[in-house]
Structure formats: structure tokens, C-alpha cells
Structure 1
Amino acid sequence: MCEDCDYQVTSSSLGGHALLRISDLPTAITDDLTGMDMVLGTGLSPYPENLREFPSVSISDASGPWSCGNLGNLELTGAPDPGGVGDDEIQPDDEIAAAAVHIAYDWPHGGVRSCSGVLVSPTQVLTAAHCFHATTAPKHLKLSVGERAPVLQPNEPTFGAVSITTHPSWNGAKPALKFDLAIVELDHKVSVPPVALAGFDPLPNCVAKVEAYGFGVGAVAADMFDWGILRKVGLLAQPKLCVDAGGQHCIDTDTLLAYTPPGGFAADAHGLCHGDSGGPVVATCGDYRQVVGVTAARVLAVPDNRDIPDETPLEPLAAAFAFTHHNVCGRDDAVGFAATRLDSPEVQSWLAATLGWPEIIEVPLSKF
């Protein structure tokens, strides 16, 4: 759109997508879009071929006019080279990577939202409940299983979804993120072995170093198109994780597992980021690798000059958006990461019912 045009869409070189300059929006909508960083700033990124079917709309920065010439000078060069497909540390025979799931769908306010998950049965994907908007319809989901860079490979097969089932105790509350789990039912079976889910406390039973898999943002720069590529991040399990120096305000370890990056929080080793929500956290337990948690949030520190909040400050790691400044990675005030536990009775019973696990009946020893 031109600065002097009144809602007139010009021809677009983005394969049917129009770049819209929308002004005079109600304040509530403008604040909502700004809060989610749903703003297309200077420097347009190429739209990947396989995402052009999404009816996404980008909102221009209200400061500074666009001109029709800006659109005319747009050159599409194709998807950027990610420097290889996925994380170089992921081996070809990695069974977790083979079962890793990328989830993408059109966000109600515009843009393509991205999240992570893992295959837990031939037709079911475990992910985070906060990955979805309350009005997200299963038919709008597009899922790729075992692909290292699904959004950059338009010819790779994708799966559809027929249902989204969240844990009954999940209420969307932030930042508590209790029982932040969802099961997505696929429209057909996947010929990939599902992962093993742990039903015990990983702290005393597993190695402290874990690996988190996800399709989140990997670059620090906000203007880079750098999500939808599978990566593996090493983390260290912590029995306690507090956000204040005094150690009086800590995450709820009854429902969440706490982790910190082994190499600290340098910008080039930020750990997890937006879009990694729902991805599996894998630990070595005895002779096996098992999923012990589902990535939920980054844990943020409380500055010394700020009052302690009523809730532990957790920043959900869903919402890797195409073409938005929401994709910023690296936070100096992060103290760790939180994953939803899978070993609590409330989660285990829900998983058993939703995944159709056989019922286990305990018989007292005195009966024998």
C-alpha cells in the first residue's frame, strides 16, 4: 500500500500475499499487535514457498511512511541458507530427532506461528498447551515429523490434525504454566517409532545433563528468518531455580522441571528461544534416553530494584512468528528454563487416558 492510498492493495510479488499498510486501528487492536511484535519493519524477508498458502498479513511500522516504490524494489531470493540442515550435533540415527514434530498454523492476528512437539504414538504428538490460541482449529495445523528444516523444504510431506486435547487442569494462566500439555491427533499414522516417556522423577533417576529439541529461533538477530530448523540444546537439571538473589522466589518444582545452560547465558549460547515450546526434554536414564519434560518457558531474573512479583516470572517460549521482531533471542536477565513435568500422577493418568495406555492395576503384596 502507498502512504497516500486508502486501503488499495497493489500487486504483490510475494506469490499472492499483499503487504498491507493499515492505519487508524482501534487502540486495543494496535496495542495487541504491538505487544506481539506483529510489525513488519524495514528490510523485507522472502516468504518461503511452502508457507505462501497461509493467508498471513503483515502490519507495517506506523512510524515512517511506505511508498509504492518500496514494493517495486522487492526482490525475492528464496529461503536463506541455514548453513546446513538442522543442528550439526544431531546424528542421522537420532531417534528423538526422527520423532521431532514441527507445528505451524496461521495466527488469528496475522503471521505464521511456529511451535515444537514430539511423536508419542503413531498418530499423536505431545506438545505445550500454550502453543495454541483458544480459537485454533485443528484443521489449520500443518505438522512435519522428523524433518530437520520443514519450513524451508516445500516439497516435504506434511500431516494434518483432527483434534487438540489439552490437560484438563490447564487454564491458560500465565506465568504459572501448570499442566501446560496438549496432545495433537494426526489425520493418519506416521511410520516412525514414537519416543519413550518417563513416568518417574528424573532428578534422582537420570543423568543431570539433558538435551532439549526444538524448532525455535536460533539466531540472535531479530531480522533473520531463522526458525523452523531443528536444533538440540544441552541443559543442566537443577533441583531448585530461583529468580531473586535471596532465593525466596523459585519456580514450582512440583509441576515444572528447572534447567540452566551449561555455558551460561552469552548471546551466542542463549539456549532455548521462541518456537521451542512443546519440544521434548530428553534425559539418559539408566540404559535408555527418555522424554522427561516438555519445554515451556524461559525463567527471568528479578532486578534488585524491582519488587518480587506475585508469580514466578516465566516467559513462554511459543510463538516463533514469520517476519516479526518477536524472534529476538538472547536475554541477559534469564536465569534458566522450565519444562512441564511428566511424572506427576495428574499428568500420568491424563497421558494414559489420552494415549490409550493399558490400565495398570496394583495388587497388594499381601494378596500373594
Structure 2
Amino acid sequence: MFPIIKWASMALTATLLAACGGGDGASELVLPDANTLCSSVGVKPKIINGADCVQPESSPVVLVLSLGSEGQTQSCTGTMLTPTRVLTAAHCMLSGTQRMAVVQWQTNGNSALVYATAWVAHPGYTTNGDGLQNDAGVITLKSAMSNPTMPLLVSSTSTKGDEVFIAGWGDPGQSLAVGYARITKVTESHLGYVYKGQASNTCAGDSGGPAYRSAGGPVGIVGVTSSGSVDGCGDGDNSLFTNIQTPRVLDFIRAQAPGLAEI
């Protein structure tokens, strides 16, 4: 089956996960509380025990817009690597994209678009094979964003059983949200799990967002939200993330985002 990419069309969109689910394992995965989820990207919960987060201007996880030649707009998610470089998915910048922009939020709730001067998809991006291969891209912005940045995690190899935060602007919440999942698949190309109604799952609009975890210190990016296998991101969804630790992807990101931090 052709993989289902996790981006969204917009009328005025944004969006994401919350407590949707995902993960195999001998023990049940315990979803962290709302404060833990939101604070992992530097923000606060919108509601008690919720997973939607407020103060998006304080987060490295940003809303990415892809503007097409026919006036259509697609939404994805990205992560600030430096003040002017944003990591996202390659499929968020498919042919036909005329302009790309990132939403800059202000403390009063207003927003403005910061347009890109360039966007580069991994040269090895392809839809062949299991999922989307080398599904990573970097956006260069015209001016610096005030949002904080997030480092790449390269000091601790991803393994089955890792518990990760997942964040994005996708369905169903149409706002920044953070979830939690257990990785059950690790290959050179992907990290992933099958969503079984526990913990969290990514969905439309979350493409390009980070899977991230701590290795005993600050959190760092280990994956980029890429694709799924079930429409609506429901039970049985094979959720895949680009493995940023594989050399061909890591070297690409480093080349496109000079000055990024690594831990």
C-alpha cells in the first residue's frame, strides 16, 4: 500500500495529536501528565490534563505552510534547528510549491508569516520501499525567528523500546499539541510503531514534526514525522518517522543547517 503522508490542506489550518495512541510492548505505556508533555517543548498546557499546549511562541515546534501555484495551501510541522533553519519532511515541499512560510506567533495571540528564501528536500527522497525514504527537508527563512531551537540527538542510538515525545500542528486539535509513544521499529530509514489506541499518534498536519527524547539531559530530535498506513490515523496505523541518525540523513541536515546544535 502506498504510504499515507501526514500533511493537511488548509482553509485556516494548524493541528495535531493529543492522547490518540500508539505502541507495542510488554508493559502498558503510561502517558505523562499535561505539564510534562507541554514542558518538553517549552510551553504550558491549555487545559488541565490536556495535551494541547499554549504559548506556541515559546516552542521550537512551528507551523509550516506550503503555498502552491493554484492558490492551495498545505500545512505541515517543523522544528527550529537555528533561528533561520527549520527541519521538516521532504514531502512537505513537493513539486508545485511556489512559496513556503513559517508562522511566527506573538504573546498576544497574533501571528505573522516569515517567508522562506529557500527550501531543500533530501536528494534521495523517494516513495519507493517501506514508507517514504529520506523524508527530510530544511527550510531557510528570510529573517530570524524568536522561537527557541531544538538540537539533534546523536549521542544515544535509537532502539526498540525507546519512549519518545511527538509534537505537531495536526489533526484533530488544530493547535500545537504534544503526545507520547513507544518505538517498536528501528531501521536505518525509520523509527516507528503501530498505533493500538494507547498513548499518542501523529495525524494530518503533523508531517515534518519531531519525535524527540532525552538521553539523560535536554531533549533532542531523533525522528521526523513522515507517513502512516491508515486514513484518519486510527487503530492499526503503522506510523513512521524518518530516522535522523542514519548518516545519509544526518549529513544532509548538517549541511543544510550550519550552526545547529547536537547532543
TM-score, with length taken from structure 2: 0.70
Count, aligned residues: 220
Give 1:71-110 correspondences, 5 Å limit. Answer: 89=35, 90-91=37-38, 94-95=41-42, 98-108=59-69
CA 1:104 to 1:163, structure 2 compared with 1: closer, same or farther past 3 Å? Answer: same
Provide the C-alpha distance between the structure 2 equivalents of 1:160 and 1:106, rounded to a whole number of angstroms: 10
For 1:273-312, list aligned pairs within 5 A. Answer: 273-299=203-229
Q: As a proportion of its length, which structure holds more strand?
A: 2
Tell whether 2:179 aligns with 1:233.
Answer: yes
Letter in 1 for 2:75: S
Which string of whole-angstrom CA distances, capped at 9 and with x for unpartnered residues, describes residues 149-190 of structure 1? xxxx6x313211110111121135476311100000011012
Deviations 1:58-106 (A, max 9, x none): xxxxxxxxxxxxxxxxxxxxxxxxxxxxx95554683386111101233
Within 5 Å, give how 1:47-86 maps onto structure 2. 48=12
Which residue identity lines up with residue 164 of structure 1 in the other structure? W
Q: Does 1:349 align with 2:256?
A: no
Which structure's residues are more often helix, by fraction?
1
Q: Which residue of 1 aligns with 2:191?
A: 257
| Candidates 204, 210, 214, aligned match of 2:168 | 214
* Residues 298 and 201 of structure 1: CA distance in aligned 2, closer, same or farther (over 3 Å): farther
RMSD: 3.5
Per-residue deviation at 1:217? 0.7
Q: What's the offset of the Cα at 1:276?
A: 0.6
Task: Say whether residues 1:141 and 2:141 are aligned partners.
Answer: no
Q: 1:179 aligns with which of 134, 155, 166?
A: 134
Match of 1:115 among 54, 76, 83: 76
Larger Rg: 1
Query: How far off is 1:348 after superposition?
Result: 2.1
Percent identity over the alignment is 23
User: Secondary structure at 2:232's aligned position in 1?
Assistant: coil
Q: 1:299 to 1:283 in 2, by over 3 A?
A: farther
| Deviations 1:218-250, CA, capped at 9 Å, x for gaps | 1xxxxxxx53x111111101146xxxxxxxxxx
- 2:226/2:240 contact within 8 Å kept: yes
Give the 3 Å change call, closer, same or farther, for CA 182–330 of structure 1 in structure 2. Answer: closer
Range that drifts further, 192-201 or 89-98: 89-98
Residue equivalent to 2:117: 162
Q: What are the ranges of 5 or more consecutive residues in structure 2 without an aligned counterpart?
A: 1-6, 14-32, 44-55
Secondary structure in 1 aligned to 2:224?
A: strand
Contact 2:120 2:139 in 1 (8 A): yes
Structure 1 counterpart SS, 2:158: helix
Distance in 2 between the 1:146 and 1:207 partners? 35
The separation in 2 between residues aligned to 1:291 and 1:215, in whole angstroms, is: 17
Q: Report the CA distance shift for 1:171/1:156 in structure 2 as closer, same or farther (over 3 A).
A: same
| In 1, Cα distance between equivalents of 2:8 and 2:204 | 13
Name the aligned partner's letter for residue 100 of structure 1. Answer: V
TM-superposed deviation, 1:331: 2.7
**Letter in structure 2 aligned against 1:351:** I
Asked whether the 8 Å contact 1:101–1:146 carries over to 2, the reply is no
The CA distance in 2 between the partners of 1:346 and 1:254, in whole Å, is 10
TM-fit CA distance, 1:108 = 4.8
**Cα deviation 1:120-140 (Å, max 9, x = unaligned):** 011000000011221212xx2
Q: Distance in 1 between matches of 2:213 and 2:177?
A: 16
- CA contact 1:207–1:285 (8 Å) conserved in 2: no
Rounded Cα–Cα distance in structure 2 between residues aligned with 1:270 and 1:158: 29
Does the C-alpha gap of structure 1 residues 115 and 37 become closer, same or farther in structure 2, counting only changes over 3 Å? Answer: closer
